[in-house]
Structure 1
Amino acid sequence: MADELRARIRSGALRPGDRMPTQAQLAHEFGVERGAVRQALRILQSERLLTNVSKGSPATVAPDPARALTGPEAPPLPTTVALAPRIAAAFAAEHVEIDAVCLTSISLTLAIGEPLRQIHAGRLKPAKVDVRVLLPSRDIDLAFPVPVEGREDDWVHDRWLAMRNAQGQVLRHNLLALRATHGIDVRVTFRALPFTPPVKLYLLNNTEALFAYYTLMRREAEIDHEHLEMYDAQGTQSMLFSFRQGAGLRDTTFVEQSHLWFNALWETISSELVLTS
């Protein structure tokens, strides 16, 4: 959605100073929920293509969109804002290829929802989808999340493992369902890493790399009415940096090296991963 609106602004279909359609109108046009519309508008605002983005009046095309920051030059945005539009854009390809390294697949599972809605609405129809995901092994001592002070039980690890498995199962189920509903050739594969990844990485169609750091924070969780201090990372809020093939030597090299890194992990030290407790 953000890509389509960006193209309309760049082409002059939406001119400087024009008021955008309302969020309700955009939601109806693209067949998405209001939340997805707001995400797309915030992305375009961050790229300086739109002004006055709010829940009230419609946004306005910036006075000089030619000077906007777009694509890899745009500032990083939280994963919850930036990932879904890029995943949806990737699903416009005939053969969709997504590789991911993450602590759990929750961000990817949420982001996949947008292209799935567009597929069900008939707006997207890839012929083939290949998804590979690297997640930490259940057998390692995680670097995070961990209790601030040691505990005899493994509650934090068990909680992470349950989340890892549940989100992975949802992701796999939602994608594999496309075989029956739309005749799309889908493969979803998970493998286990022998370490806790300090970063998250999404590789889209061999042309784009989205990269974010897991920033640790100390927070409190409640366990059986007891409060536990733990070190954890909120991956959905991690700032996502975009690098694209062909957007300059720096970006192109980053995308290429990221693919080499992912494939090396996949083919060497990773192991079979079963999404069960």
Structure 2
Amino acid sequence: MSSQSTSLTVAAVLRERITSGAVAPGGSLPKRADLAAEFGVSGSVIRQALTTLEDEGLVTLGRGAPATVNEPPPPAPAPQTAGVLLPDRIRAAFEAEHVTIDSFSLTAETLHEALAVAYLGVRSGALTPRSIALRVMVPAIDTRLALPSLIDDPGDTRPLERLRGIMNTCHDTLAMGLNSLHLRGHVPEVALEFRSVPLTPMHKLYLLNGTESLIGYYEVVPETVLLEGGEARIYDVLGIDSLLFRSSSGPDSRDAQDAAFVVSSQRWFDSLWNSIARPIESG
């Protein structure tokens, strides 16, 4: 067995002792020499195991002293709907000097509505970012999208034309909102990039200032909408009412997995943005 595999085994045993309460917060693990003797491994293996636990936020390592068990992080808050959580988190993101928001969704309609709260804070002077940069990624309308679709006739293109109208409206309103903040002297620098990808989003993702991710899954539902020719039943997705799950890689990160999810989500977004995503214009 490799030293890495052995260190992970040791870390797993020590982790269980900590999470079970066998070693209380503020208490200390045995000295490294004692741990090496207990597990019958070298000091380097113990050092690797303790480093793993430190990376997870479970212990604090001291030079020449036993590892101290940390207080457990607060429990993760319950997920909230996009219409509730996103405005709150975007407003918090606007407390930064340089604001970046990356969005992947079906239309960007929820993003547009959520920004209204932060914009109000900027106009009142409560929020004073020096720059705001939005990157918005939506599906390419000329792709054979799975949703939205007419229930009785999936080949009918009217739901997609309705989607195109919503997307164009969102594009225009996002651009007008940002430009208004800039032209009125509230924010010195603003930028908006709008790109499309040839796939049907089945989740929405928001990345705030590179340190926070909000992700939610679209639930497919039947809905009655007004199309050219009258009312029609379509399969659509829940947007503003979908639950968002938050992760952070900042100071309030719960653990290494929480932070890693943000990093992975950002890499996923960037991989699409820099490869198959294409700039689009309103109209």
Q: Normalising by structure 2, report the TM-score.
A: 0.70
Report the CA distance shift for 1:85/1:229 in structure 2 as closer, same or farther (over 3 A): same
2:279 is matched with 272
For 2:244, what is the secondary structure of its paired residue? strand
Asked whether the equivalents of residues 176 and 188 of structure 1 are also in contact (C-alpha less than 8 Å), the reply is no
Is 2:253 the partner of 1:253? no
Q: Which residue does 1:117 correspond to in 2? A: 120
1:218 aligns with 2:222: yes
User: What does residue 195 of structure 1 align with?
Assistant: 199
1:132 aligns with 2:135: yes
Is the CA contact 2:195–2:278 (under 8 Å) kept in the aligned structure 1? yes
Question: Higher mean Cα deviation, 99-108 or 152-161?
Answer: 152-161
Opposite residue 261 of structure 2, the aligned amino acid is F
Q: Secondary structure at 2:122's aligned position in 1? A: helix
Maintained 8 Å contact 2:149/2:156: no
- What is the Cα deviation at residue 95 of structure 1? 0.4
Q: After TM superposition, what 4+ stretches of structure 1 lie above 6 angstroms from structure 2?
A: 67-70
Matched, 1:81 2:84: yes
Please report how far the alpha carbon of residue 160 of structure 1 lies from its aligned counterpart in structure 2 after TM superposition: 0.5
Q: How far, CA to CA, are the matches of 1:272 and 1:222 in structure 2? A: 29
Unaligned runs of 5+ in 1: 1-66
* Corresponding residue for residue 234 of structure 2: 230
Q: Deviations over 1:79-130 (max 9, x none)?
A: 1111101000000000001000000111110110011101110101100111
Q: Equivalents in 1 of 2:228, 2:281: separation in Å?
A: 28
What displacement does 1:226 show?
3.9
The partner residue of 1:239 within 235, 238, 243 is 243
User: Could you tell me which residue of structure 1 aligns to residue 174 of structure 2?
Assistant: 171
Q: Deviations over 1:25-58 (max 9, x none)?
A: xxxxxxxxxxxxxxxxxxxxxxxxxxxxxxxxxx
Q: Distance in 1 between matches of 2:92 and 2:264?
A: 22
**Secondary structure of residue in 1 paired with 2:240:** helix
Amino acid at match of 2:266: H
Once the two structures are superposed, what CA deviation does each residue of 1:177-231 show, in whole Å capped at 9, x if it has no partner? 2111124200010111111111000000011000000100112224456442211
Post-superposition offset of 1:274:
1.1
Deviates more, 1:104-113 or 1:241-250: 241-250
TM-score, normalization by structure 1: 0.71
Q: Give the drift of 1:266.
A: 0.3
Alignment partner of 1:158 is 2:165? no
Q: Is the 8 A contact 2:158 2:228 kept in 1?
A: no
Does the residue aligned with 1:236 lie in a helix, a strand or coil? coil
Cα root mean square deviation, aligned: 1.8
SS of the residue 2:126 aligns to: coil
Percent of aligned pairs with the same amino acid: 32
Distance between the aligned counterparts of 1:123 and 1:227, measured in 2? Answer: 44
Q: Is the 8 A contact 1:80 1:107 kept in 2?
A: yes
- Partners of 1:184 and 1:234 in 2: how far apart? 36
Shift of 1:76: 0.6
Structure 1 residue identity aligned to 2:134: V
Instruction: Find the aligned partners of 1:149 and 1:95 in 2 and give their Cα distance.
Output: 48
Deviation at 1:69, TM superposition (A): 6.4
Alpha-carbon contact 1:109-1:170 (below 8 Å) kept:
yes
Shift of residue 153 of structure 1? Answer: 4.7
Between the aligned partners of 2:103 and 2:218, the Cα distance in structure 1 is: 14
Q: 2:212 aligns with which of 208, 211, 225?
A: 208
Structure 2: which amino acid aligns with 1:94? Answer: E
For 1:105 and 1:252, the matched residues in 2 are separated by 25
> What SS is found at the alignment partner of 1:109?
helix
Checking the alignment, whether the CA contact within 8 Å between 2:137 and 2:197 is kept in structure 1 is yes
Which residue in the other structure is 1:12 paired with? none
